[in-house]
Structure 1
Amino acid sequence: MLITRRYTDRVIVVNNGISDQCVELVEFAGAEGIRDFTYMNKNFSLKKGIEAAKDADILVTMDGCL
């Protein structure tokens, strides 16, 4: 995450109900965190992340904590 910040001005991480501290860790590193505890569904969480990044030139999705 810290290395990624050298190459981009915005990183968004969506947590779809995982109980670990993934979002808190990436927020500490400077990313935007979105917590999605409503549906806990991967497809819905991907949609939320894509909507949050609607102005992005490049979009990368990953599954799992960084």
Structure 2
Amino acid sequence: MEDATSLFTETDPILERNIKFKRGVEELLLSYKETLRHMEASASQRPITSYFKFSPTSK
């Protein structure tokens, strides 16, 4: 997303408008970033051993 915002801000010579645009995009994406952080924090990976079915050892 930063590539897209930098493309717009580099081509616009008015600094104040650049700052407003960048802040606006960041503000719009804030809820999505928070959701992603929450999902990453609550995600867990199953251990590899959970995919195998163990059988009793016979001698």
TM-score after normalising by structure 1:
0.30
Structure having the higher helix fraction is 2
Structure having the higher strand fraction is 1
TM-score after normalising by structure 2:
0.33
* Larger of the two Rg values belongs to structure: 2
RCO comparison, higher one (Cα < 8 Å, 6+): 1
